């Protein structure tokens, strides 16, 4: 009985020595057949219980040598195949046509925002950015909107559930408050960014949108300075146009105004978006309220300033005749690919 087991082991050793796997796949089959968990070598180890006691030591040494021979051969062939793969250089057909690289597109909101920022940077305004999760003081109180102020009803706010004193900013005026707290005049900044309001989403409004607000504070700043600055912007953005300022109300400016540009009445769309007047409101503005300056540690007896704010989505919709604001937030590639040629 023992001799038959020895003969079987020697046959498996001879089979291992004669095996010549030609590919990496063949080598894997070799591994499974001989040194896998159900391979021949594992089977030989199980036969030791059937070997005569006086020959068990001899049989164990033979099985160990068979296992070592199988594993050594597998390791050497595996290294050989891997070296061959590393040395193989893919042949490139230099005459084949190149694969076209599809160009991406800037989002229309980014296009318009970058254009607005660039216009104001030409006349000395610098970009200021701040956090989107704000505290109540910087978002409201510093801007002359205390807790019992009716102006808070103008903005529906997202408050954080675990911290009611913090909220998603409703305007980028909070950036102005932080700059005024940390910097003395002269101050000349623009604050672009995303803002949030708890509004019903429709074709004309959304719970998130973008603003660019501006602030200029120095000695002897007047309403005329503001008017000329915004007129410059309107002409750069909309071409040879006219503007008009209409009295309005904002809690952080006094006097306050809304600025319209003359859009024209060239077609039916113009009639619809301007309600038949040809005039289009694009921003709100005004002289910074002295109380706002005092709240932020700036002497209102020495300094004056003006501020303005405008929505980006509305101007993007006007520029590109987009009929629904929701298109700007849906990330539909078919919609966004239309702006590949835009700057």
Q: Of 34, 30, 66, 35, which is closest to residue 48 (Cα–Cα)?
A: 66
Q: In DSSP terms, which residues pair with 86 in a beta bridge?
A: none
Tokens 């529906």 belong to which residue?
A: 156
pLDDT of residue 82: 79
Q: How would you write the pLDDT of the chain (343 residues) with one tens digit per residue?
A: 567 777 777 787 788 888 888 888 887 887 888 878 777 777 777 777 777 777 778 777 877 888 888 888 888 888 887 777 766 666 777 788 877 777 777 888 999 999 999 999 999 999 999 999 999 889 888 998 877 766 566 568 888 888 878 888 989 999 999 999 999 999 999 999 999 988 888 877 888 889 999 999 999 999 999 999 999 999 999 888 899 999 999 889 999 999 998 888 888 777 777 788 888 888 999 999 999 999 999 999 999 999 999 999 888 888 888 888 888 888 888 888 888 766 5
Element (H, E) at 196: strand 187-196
Separation between Cα atoms, residue 335 and residue 302, nearest integer Å: 51
**φ, ψ (nearest 5 deg) of residue 14:** -65, -35
Contacts for 17-24: CB closer than 8 Å, 24+ residues apart: 17/69, 19/73, 21/77, 23/81, 24/78, 24/81
Element at 293 (helix H, strand E): helix 290-295
Predicted local distance difference test score (pLDDT) of residue 245: 94
CA distance between the termini of the chain: 88
Angle at 284 between CA 279 and CA 288, to 5 degrees: 145
What pTM did the predictor assign?
Answer: 0.67
- The SS3 call for residue 263 is coil
Instruction: Tell me what pLDDT residue 285 has.
Output: 95
Q: How buried is residue 228: exposed, middle or buried, by Cβ count under 10 Å (0-12/13-18/19+)?
A: exposed
Answer whether 114's CB lies under 8 Å from 315's CB. no
pLDDT of amino acid 193: 93
> How would you class 134 by CB atoms within 10 Å of its CB: exposed for 0-12, middle for 13-18, buried for 19 or more?
buried
Q: Measured between alpha carbons, how far is 167 from 160 in angstroms, rounded to an integer?
A: 5
pLDDT the model gives residue 60: 78
- Cα dist from 158 to 133, 170, 171, 172, 209, whole Å: 10, 8, 12, 15, 14
Q: Tokens 């309005």 correspond to what residue?
A: 248
Instruction: Please give the CATH number for the structural domain made up of 108-339.
Output: 3.30.930.10
Residue extents of the structural domains in the chain: 2-87, 108-339
Q: Do 296 and 160 meet the contact criterion of CB atoms below 8 Å apart?
A: no
């Amino acid at each position: 009985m023992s001799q038959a087991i020895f003969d079987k082991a020697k046959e498996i050793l001879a089979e291992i020595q004669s095996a010549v796997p030609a590919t990496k796949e063949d080598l894997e089959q070799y591994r499974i057949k001989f040194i896998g968990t159900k391979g021949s070598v594992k089977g030989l180890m199980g036969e030791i219980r059937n070997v005569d006691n006086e020959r068990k030591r001899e049989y164990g040494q033979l099985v160990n040598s068979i296992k070592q021979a199988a594993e050594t051969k597998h390791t050497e062939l595996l290294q050989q195949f891997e070296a061959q793969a590393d040395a193989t250089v893919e042949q490139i057909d230099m005459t084949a046509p190149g694969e076209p690289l599809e160009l991406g597109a800037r989002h229309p909101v980014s296009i318009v925002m970058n254009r607005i920022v660039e216009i104001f940077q030409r006349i000395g305004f610098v970009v200021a950015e701040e956090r989107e999760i704000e505290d109540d003081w910087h978002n409201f109180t510093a801007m002359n909107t205390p807790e019992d102020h009716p102006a808070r009803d103008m903005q529906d706010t997202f408050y954080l559930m675990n911290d009611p004193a913090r909220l998603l900013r409703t305007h980028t005026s909070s950036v102005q408050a932080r700059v005024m707290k940390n910097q003395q005049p002269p101050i000349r900044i623009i604050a672009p960014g995303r803002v949030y309001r708890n509004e019903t989403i429709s074709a004309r409004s959304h719970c998130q949108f973008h603003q660019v607000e501006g602030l200029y504070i120095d000695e002897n700043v007047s309403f005329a300075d503001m008017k000329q600055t915004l007129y410059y912007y309107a002409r750069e953005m909309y071409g040879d146009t006219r503007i008009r300022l209409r009295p309005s109300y904002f809690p952080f400016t006094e006097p306050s105004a809304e600025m319209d540009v003359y859009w024209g009445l060239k077609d039916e769309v113009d009639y619809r978006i301007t309600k038949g007047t040809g005039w289009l409101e694009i921003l709100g503005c005004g002289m910074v309220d002295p109380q706002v300056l005092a709240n932020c540690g700036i002497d209102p007896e020495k300094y004056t300033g003006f501020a303005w704010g405008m929505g980006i989505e509305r101007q993007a919709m006007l520029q590109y005749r987009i009929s629904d604001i929701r298109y700007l937030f849906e990330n539909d590639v078919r919609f966004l690919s239309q702006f590949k040629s835009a700057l």
